[in-house]
């Protein structure tokens, strides 16, 4: 796919905004890359479909209240990362392509094509040299449009990014955003002195492969990305199997995460004594006490992790695996999250905890649930997106759970695995009789 850049602009807030530095919490500092997101829109017949002028005007307006986004990264006198609120602006790129849009929707197999739809950020000039938000509007020859967004992770997490994009869309339609940003990150300061009360397994080094015979390729060409749809009926079947033998009613995420973990471990052919770590993000906004104010502008994603032997996942009941996740999630309350912030405070070099391909590649797994985000509310005045998804899925062992574009209750499981394992994963994912058979077998023991 050839993408031609037609022009680029620095967009600044429409009026004077507060100057100064915004303190960053330990969570904000932990991850510093741009989070890429892709929104696809089909033409609605309007002559001004995705007019760049209208988008930029709305962006100018919304940056007044979300003013840290128009700033730059910097360091305070102690060398700690901070955001300089200096209104230097965000990058807005206009592009076009002779390709058609439909083949790209929900297709992450060609990551190089996806990356062309989000502006490339040049980090070589130092942390103060690049915009914290980059946007690209790419028009396809068929009339469709992709809105590619890259938001610097120190600004916030996925929930904050969706809040900003939907607020921008509201502004473009002439509406007032429902929730104003709350700009005070000191609510997530570590305690003085830091008090670590729990073993934070989420920050332990991930297990490595025990046997060189089981070593897996680091060549990206050996990976494939596939998207699998789970209908409402299939999800209800999973829930029924999970809750049939337990007094506890488990959430849909716990059930699906357990199922995916078991299926991927089996598809990988892990030996029984191989340790495997499942990691997933937990939004701390409502788990903290008191809860953070609505619209909190910052990163509030904590990690939750569960470690098991692959053999245990193979032999235990489906409910047993769900219970592992349930117990770990249940302990994540205000005290646990404050302990996590204090743990990070005591780490001398937070970059040592940076998450990347090494944290979720085989034998491990990362599941990122976006199914509760209002990702399809980004209507800029020309209709809702026909598809929205992440731009960084091509990393082995990474899984996204996305909602259906049609709001029919189904879910999409976007998975990156070694090519040789994907067919097996697909087989196990849809093989609900396998769960049923194992439950009956265990009940007879």
Closest Cα to residue 378, out of 147, 154, 153, 66?
147
* Residues forming the active site: 153, 379
Position 444 pLDDT exceeds 50: no
Q: What is the pLDDT of residue 218?
A: 59
Is this structure's pTM higher than 0.75? yes
CA distance 200 to 416: 27
Q: What phi, psi does 21 have (nearest 5°)?
A: -110, 140
Look at the domain 207-444 and name its fold: Chloramphenicol Acetyltransferase (3.30.559)
pLDDT band, very low/low/confident/very high, at 350 (cuts 50, 70, 90):
confident
pLDDT digits (tens, 9 = 90+) for 236-248: 999 999 988 778 8
Distance, CA of 351 to CA of 358 (rounded, Å): 14
The tokens for 438 are: 């194992």
Would you report the helix, strand and coil content of the chain in percent, each value rounded to 5? Answer: 35, 25, 40
The arithmetic mean of pLDDT across residues 116-131, rounded, is: 95
Domain 3-188 indexed as CATH 3.30.559.10 = yes
Q: What are the pLDDT digits (tens) for 290-321?
A: 999 999 999 999 999 999 999 999 999 999 99
Distance (Å, rounded) from C-alpha 230 to C-alpha 192? 47
Residue 427: helix, strand or coil by DSSP? Answer: helix
The three-state secondary structure class of 333 is coil
Q: In whole angstroms, what is the distance from residue 120 CA to residue 108 CA?
A: 18
Token representation of residue 405: 């574009």
Q: Do domains 3-188 and 207-444 have the same CATH topology?
A: yes
Encode pLDDT of 184-231 as tens digits. 999 999 999 999 999 999 999 999 998 754 555 556 568 899 999 999
Would you state the structure tokens that stand for residue 352, as one six-digit string? 């040592």
Q: Where are the domains of the chain?
A: 3-188, 207-444
Strands (E) across 165-241 are located at 223-230
**In angstroms, how far apart are the furthest CA atoms of the chain?**
71
Class of residue 146 by CB neighbours under 10 A (exposed 0-12, middle 13-18, buried 19+): buried
For 73-106, letters b (16+ CB in 10 Å) and e give: bbeeeeeebbbbbbbebbbbbbbbbebebeebbb
Write the CB contacts of 240 (distance below 8 Å, at least 6 apart in sequence): none
Residue corresponding to tokens 């339609």: 173
């Amino acid at each position: 796919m050839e993408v031609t850049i037609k022009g680029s602009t620095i967009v600044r807030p429409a009026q004077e905004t507060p100057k100064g530095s915004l303190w960053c919490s330990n969570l904000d500092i932990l991850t510093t890359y741009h989070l890429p997101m892709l929104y696809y829109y089909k033409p609605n017949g309007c002559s001004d479909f995705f007019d760049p002028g209208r988008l930029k005007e709305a962006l100018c307006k919304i940056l007044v209240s979300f003013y840290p986004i128009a700033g730059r990264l910097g360091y305070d006198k102690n060398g700690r990362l901070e955001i300089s609120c200096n209104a230097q602006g965000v990058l807005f790129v206009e592009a076009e392509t002779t390709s058609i849009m439909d083949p790209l929707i929900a297709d992450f197999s060609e990551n190089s094509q996806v990356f062309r739809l989000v502006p490339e950020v040049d980090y070589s000039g130092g942390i103060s040299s690049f915009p914290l938000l980059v946007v690209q509007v790419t028009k396809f020859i068929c009339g469709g449009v992709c809105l590619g967004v890259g938001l610097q992770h120190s600004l916030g997490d996925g929930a904050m990014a969706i809040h900003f994009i939907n607020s921008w869309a509201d502004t473009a339609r002439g509406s007032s955003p429902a929730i104003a940003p709350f700009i005070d990150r000191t609510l997530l300061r570590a305690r003085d002195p830091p008090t670590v009360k729990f073993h934070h397994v989420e920050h332990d080094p991930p297990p490595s492969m025990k046997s060189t015979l089981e070593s897996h390729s680091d060549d990206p060409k050996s990976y494939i990305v596939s998207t699998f749809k789970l209908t409402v009926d299939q999800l209800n079947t999973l829930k029924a199997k999970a809750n049939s033998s337990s007094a506890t009613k488990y959430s849909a995420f716990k059930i699906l995460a357990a199922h995916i973990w078991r299926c991927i471990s089996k598809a990988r052919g892990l030996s029984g004594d191989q340790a495997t770590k499942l990691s997933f993000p937990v939004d701390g906004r409502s788990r903290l006490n008191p809860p953070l104010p609505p619209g909190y502008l910052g990163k509030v994603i904590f990690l939750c992790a569960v470690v098991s032997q692959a053999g245990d996942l193979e032999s235990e009941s489906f409910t047993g695996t769900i219970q592992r996740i349930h117990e770990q999630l249940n302990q994540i309350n205000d005290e646990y999250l404050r302990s996590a912030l204090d743990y990070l405070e005591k780490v001398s070099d937070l970059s040592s905890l940076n998450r990347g391909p090494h944290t979720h590649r085989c034998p491990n797994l990362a599941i990122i649930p976006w199914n509760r985000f209002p990702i399809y509310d980004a209507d800029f005045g020309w209709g809702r997106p026909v598809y929205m998804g992440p731009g960084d899925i091509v990393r082995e062992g990474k899984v996204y759970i996305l909602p259906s574009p049609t709001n029919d209750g189904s879910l999409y499981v976007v998975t990156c695995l070694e090519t040789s394992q994907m067919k097996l994963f697909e087989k196990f994912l849809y093989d609900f009789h396998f769960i049923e058979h194992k439950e009956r077998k265990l009940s007879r023991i």
